Amino acid sequence: MRIVARRLALPAAALAAALALTACQSDDAPAASPKAPDASASASQGAPEASATEAVPPAEAAPTPTKANAPKPAAGTARPTTAAKPTTPAGSSTSTRAVTCTAANTRIVASRVSRPVNHLLLTVTNVGGRPCNALGAPIVGFDDPQAPIAVVEDSRPQAVVTLAPGESGYASVILTGEPGPDTHGRTVRKIRVGLTPESDTTVAAPSGTFADAGAAVSYWQRSLEDALTY
């Protein structure tokens, strides 16, 4: 009976000793060091994020289209065409082509001049909307129907007198002599002026106009001075 008791007591004593040794070891062991943080996690959590300005490069300005970089039409595509502007041949415009001066597009006035003596001045003015040509010499007659007076051939101009709207041309009427007992003439009250054989007008003669059989008229001139030289 004693032998059995010892065998049971020994294991119990050994177990108690083992527990005591374990407790001592746990008290004397140094505290475990904290686990080192994961390097990849630290890198992802600690690194600052890149700003939008650094991450995205600035957009480049779109190039302005020029003839050099303009897109070429695809093969077989018709190119747009620009309609040509109509042109008017020089001198063919109805607004600039000259017509003949007539009683319908002119105004005529007879006036007395101081020099030369025994002269009247005929002034024709274009009152139309287009240029007109004063052709040749005016066809002049006094009062009652009769043959027109003579024309001074030396007064023929080098070119036809063309009058723009508002412009005037001139012709002189030579009355010749003064009234007297030996002068075969008469006092003139009206003057008929023909710009063409088919177109004439009648104007009032200046008071005291006296003309004889030698009266004559010059060709139409561009200037008053040229007209009064005859």
Instruction: Kindly report, residue by residue over 7-32, the tens digit of the pLDDT.
Output: 444 454 555 554 554 444 444 444 44
By CB atoms closer than 10 A (0-12, 13-18, 19+), residue 183 is middle
Q: What percent of the chain has pLDDT over 90?
A: 48
Q: Where are the domains of the chain?
A: 99-227
Tokens describing residue 92: 């063919």
Alpha-carbon distances, residue 132 vs 94, 128, 169 (angstroms): 12, 8, 11
- Find the mean pLDDT for residues 186-210: 93
Global pTM value:
0.58
Alpha-carbon distances, residue 224 vs 100, 127, 145 (angstroms): 21, 18, 28
**Which residue would you say has higher pLDDT here, 156 or 3?**
156
Please say if the pLDDT value at position 49 is more than 90: no
Query: For the domain bounded by 99-227, which CATH number is listed?
Result: 2.60.40
**pLDDT digits over 62-108, tens only?**
555 554 455 555 555 545 444 444 444 444 444 589 999 999 999 99
Q: What is the mean pLDDT of the chain?
A: 73
Tokens describing residue 20: 């005591």
Alpha-carbon distances, residue 207 vs 11, 110, 112, 189, 190 (angstroms): 178, 11, 9, 7, 10
d(CA 189, CA 28): 161
Query: What's the confidence (pLDDT) of residue 218?
Result: 97
